[in-house]
Amino acid sequence: MSELTTIARPYAKAAFDFAVEANAVDSWLSQLTFAAEVAKDETIIGYISGGASVEQAQILFFNVCGEQVDSKCQNFLKVMASNERLLVLPQVLEQFIALKAELDQEVTVDVTSAVEVTAEQKTTISAALEKRLARKVKLNCFVDASIVSGLIIQAGDMVIDGSVKGKLNRLATTLQS
């Protein structure tokens, strides 16, 4: 997976830089989202992974994409196709989204709790994290009864484990050492 990310990074950076320069980040995001979905289709994967020549794969890919991608994005996709990299479009999209979030000063935070988080709690958590991270926060809330009580908050590499399960695990590790 990290190999695909490494391959996708320069393509995502190039597309993002062009989109920022053209003031069309949202447009490019929607076009890349569509193209990435096309690239995930099993039939398309068969063609672009070696079942057809590069030219045939390009023609099929652009026929499916049709009017959903403009000429600039088509040129970008042609470069990817000529380098036989259309299969990494989903990873290019992930990288593009990350670059957009960085530009927008946004961060996506996963909050896991033992019970459903209320709207008031979401507001409190968002406000505290926005202050701590100095970014706009988008919460993804999950329920996992196995953590017993408390929260696990994950934003990128930062993890705040305030769950009872986490505290018990840390206590067990301390007692064993």
Rounded to an integer, the average pLDDT of 22-50 is 88
We report the CATH number of the domain holding residue 80 as 1.10.520.20
- Which of 101, 130, 159 marks a domain boundary? 101
Task: Tell me: do 92 and 141 sit in the same domain.
Answer: no
94 & 110 share domain: no
| Alpha-carbon torsion angle 92, 98, 104, 107, nearest 10 | 160
CB 101, CB 107: distance < 8 Å: yes
Is this model's pTM higher than 0.75 or not?
no
| Domain end (from 51, 75, 101) | 101
pLDDT of 1 > 70? The answer is no
Last residue of a domain, one of 83, 101, 119: 101
Identify whether residues 27 and 74 lie together within a single domain: yes
Alpha helices (runs of H) in 41-162, residue ranges in sequence order: 42-46, 54-65, 71-82, 89-103, 119-133
Pick the more confident residue, 117 or 59. 117
For residues 79 and 124, membership in a common domain is answered with no
Q: Domain of residue 28: give its range.
A: 2-101
Residue 87 sits in the same domain as residue 122: no
Inter-residue contact 16 to 96 (CB < 8 Å): yes
Q: Is the pLDDT reported for residue 9 higher than 60?
A: yes
Q: Are strands 106-113 and 151-155 parallel, antiparallel or unpaired?
A: antiparallel
Look at the chain and report how many structural domains it folds into. 2
Tell me what pLDDT residue 100 has.
93
* Residue 52: per-residue pLDDT: 65
